[in-house]
């Protein structure tokens, strides 16, 4: 029997073709006044690919996009692969110098940018060593729309499902950004996993609170389309705007880091009552505290805890919920949900290993490094074989996260390896201390980092943001922690104020550590 009848290369762009066939007359993308049915969105992106071809973008070429959560960025996830090119989605908060480095490192020939990022895009192109064609999207001087309108539909078939689909650059907070190589097969399977685990259907409305540039939106850029759901673009990450869409735009799903959720659930708009319908939330980027999870339950929001990295196409691990746990006390449910969990439906088994690469005991106590392999792991770091070998020394990708394995096979993250505080020879988990702090009723969010200390080497220091209209002294918070943890784990100081964050909502602990070193 011919092999062709039993094999078709997997690519996530196939989801758009199916959505156009099955849900072609339904609204698929909403971005303010711009609205597209799935049939219109497919046609638009095929012509977008044709426009790239007319710009002499050849298969394998790199095309960069600098845009927020808009229909332009979403379209890039289909049009660029349709053209046979490789998508490089850029962090909208990156500096022009960082973007120039990425343009050169990836070898981008075209940079499509949203009008509001024109200054950064122009400066980046000027600083880049290679020639980059700039294409402006939006505004009175829009260049992208005329190019699409004048183009013919175009599509380069995918012949190798393990071929390069996208390059996603890490934040580069401690070194130059690394280019993480995504393949078609991984993105296809990861998109299906996300749609399944968050229970997306053709009646779902997905609010884009998670940056589309971050791990290609955890592959929801393709997963939402696979389900035939609605992409509702969010131009600004504002809690009040999130609540307005929840109440007025029939939102059923969104994803966000715990810090974004914290801002949202304590916003004054939250006091107006529960959402009119069930809202399913995916969260990751940092372990959500039991306090946060309890508050979401009070608001009637169903949350799924996810864990992953840029190198794993976003969430490779899910805290898969079991119905029998619903009979447990709410506080115990929250503790179970704060664990990272098990490999998602398309992942292999997740491991916790010691320095020699052997599995640690599943006793919820022995610390090791989380290791992952499988279809939703990167091809490697672009143009960096040494870093690739170091990240996967034995065929298992080392995440750099330290955790424990529970007897039921669920992984629980205890800290980033670089965030463990070693005080007087004792290891202190910053996550454990943060969870103790967050359980205080006045604390909205917090971060605990190491500060240099002459006697102990380093000691924990807490940075805290209080809830609106709440008050607490540093002494009160320290007593609250000491009542739950061993005295040596309690922070030596508490500093109040807003926390520095990345564009994806992660707290920048490196900035806090640098601040402590500078101030002494």
Q: Tell me, what's the pLDDT at 173?
A: 47
Q: Looking up tokens 């504002």, which residue turns up?
A: 238
**pTM to 2 decimal places:** 0.86
CB 250 within 8 A of CB 295: no
Distance between CA atoms of residues 492 and 325, nearest Å: 37
Please tell me the CATH code under which domain 236-416 is placed.
3.40.50.12780
Distance between CA atoms of residues 102 and 87, nearest Å: 12
Of 435, 465, 461, 464, nearest to 513 by C-alpha is 461
Domains 15-21+37-184 and 420-519 share a fold: no
Domain residue spans of the chain = 15-21+37-184, 236-416, 420-519
What letter would DSSP give residue 5?
A: G
Kindly state the helix (H) or strand (E) to which residue 218 belongs, with its residue range. Answer: helix 215-218
Helices (H), 23-66: 38-54
Distance between CA atoms of residues 217 and 210, nearest Å: 6
Distance between CA atoms of residues 337 and 295, nearest Å: 13
Task: Pull the structure tokens for residue 397.
Answer: 């990708």
Task: Pull the structure tokens for residue 4.
Answer: 């062709």
Task: Pull the structure tokens for residue 13.
Answer: 């762009």
The CATH number for 15-21+37-184, chosen from 3.40.50.12780, 3.40.50.720, 3.30.390.30, 3.30.413.10, is 3.40.50.12780
Can you spell out the DSSP letters for 433-464?
HHHHHHTSTTEEEEEEEEEEETTTEEEEEEEE
Q: Tell me, what's the pLDDT at 456?
A: 77
Distance between CA atoms of residues 449 and 434, nearest Å: 10
Kindly state the helix (H) or strand (E) to which residue 80 belongs, with its residue range. Answer: helix 71-82
Low-confidence ranges of the chain (pLDDT < 70): 1-3, 172-175, 285-288, 424-426, 503-504, 520
N-to-C CA span, the chain: 73
Distance between CA atoms of residues 102 and 58, nearest Å: 19
Q: Is 206 helix (H, G, I), strand (E, B) or coil?
A: strand
Of 201, 413, 423, 397, nearest to 312 by C-alpha is 397
Dihedral sign for Cα atoms in the order 165, 189, 252, 306: negative
Q: Tell me, what's the pLDDT at 34?
A: 96
CB 66 within 8 A of CB 102: no
pLDDT digit string (tens) for 18-61? 999 999 999 999 999 999 999 999 999 999 999 999 999 999 99
CB 79 within 8 A of CB 112: no
CATH fold of 420-519 reads: GMP Synthetase; Chain A, domain 3 (3.30.300)
Q: Tell me, what's the pLDDT at 175?
A: 63
Main-chain dihedrals φ then ψ at residue 361, nearest 5 degrees: -60, 145
Distance between CA atoms of residues 420 and 448, nearest Å: 10
Q: Tell me, what's the pLDDT at 111?
A: 98
């Amino acid at each position: 029997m011919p092999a062709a009848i039993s094999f078709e290369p997997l690519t996530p762009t196939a989801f758009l073709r199916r959505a156009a066939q099955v849900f072609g007359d339904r609204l698929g993308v909403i971005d303010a006044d711009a609205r597209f049915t799935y049939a219109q969105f497919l046609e638009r992106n095929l012509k977008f690919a044709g426009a790239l071809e007319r710009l002499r973008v050849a298969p394998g070429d790199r095309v960069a996009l600098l845009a927020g959560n808009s229909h332009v960025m979403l379209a890039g996830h289909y049009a660029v692969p349709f053209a046979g090119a490789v998508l490089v989605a850029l962090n909208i908060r990156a500096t022009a110098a960082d973007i120039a480095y990425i343009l050169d490192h990836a070898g981008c020939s075209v940079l499509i940018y949203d009008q509001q990022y024109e200054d950064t895009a122009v400066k980046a192109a000027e600083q880049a060593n290679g020639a980059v064609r700039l294409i402006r999207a939006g505004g009175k001087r829009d260049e992208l729309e005329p190019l699409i309108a004048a183009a013919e539909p175009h599509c380069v078939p995918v012949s190798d499902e393990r071929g390069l689909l996208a390059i996603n650059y890490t934040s580069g907070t401690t070194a130059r950004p690394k280019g993480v190589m995504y393949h078609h097969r991984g993105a296809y399977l990861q998109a299906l996993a996300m749609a399944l685990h968050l229970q997306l259907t053709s009646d779902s409305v997905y609010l884009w609170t998670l940056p589309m540039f971050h791990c290609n939106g955890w592959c929801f850029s393709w997963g939402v389309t696979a389900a035939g759901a609605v992409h509702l673009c969010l131009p600004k990450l504002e809690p009040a705007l999130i609540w307005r869409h929840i109440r007025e735009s029939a939102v059923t799903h969104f994803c966000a880091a715990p810090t974004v959720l914290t801002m949202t659930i304590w916003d004054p708009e939250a006091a107006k009552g529960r959402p009119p319908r069930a809202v399913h939330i995916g969260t990751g980027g940092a372990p959500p505290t039991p306090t946060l999870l309890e508050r979401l339950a009070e608001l009637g929001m169903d949350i799924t805890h996810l864990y992953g990295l840029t190198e794993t196409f976003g969430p490779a691990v899910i805290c898969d919920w079991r119905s029998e746990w619903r009979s447990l006390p709410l506080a115990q449910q929250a503790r179970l949900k704060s664990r990272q969990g098990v490999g998602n439906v398309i992942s292999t088994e997740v491991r916790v290993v010691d320095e020699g690469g052997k599995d640690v005991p599943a006793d919820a106590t022995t610390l090791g490094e989380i290791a992952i392999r499988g279809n939703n792991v990167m091809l490697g770091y672009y143009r960096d074989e040494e870093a690739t070998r170091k990240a996967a020394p034995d065929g298992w990708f080392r995440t750099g996260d330290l955790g424990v394995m529970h007897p039921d096979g669920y992984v629980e993250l205890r800290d980033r390896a670089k965030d463990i505080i070693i005080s007087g020879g004792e290891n202190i988990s910053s996550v454990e201390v943060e969870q103790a702090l967050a359980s205080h009723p006045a604390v909205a969010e917090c971060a605990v980092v190491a500060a240099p200390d002459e006697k102990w080497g380093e000691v924990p220091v807490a940075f805290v943001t209080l809830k609106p209209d709440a008050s607490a002294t540093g002494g009160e918070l320290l007593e609250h922690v000491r009542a739950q943890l061993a005295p040596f784990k309690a922070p030596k100081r508490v500093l109040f104020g807003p926390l520095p964050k990345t564009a994806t909502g992660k707290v920048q602990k490196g900035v806090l550590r640098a601040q402590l070193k500078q101030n002494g």
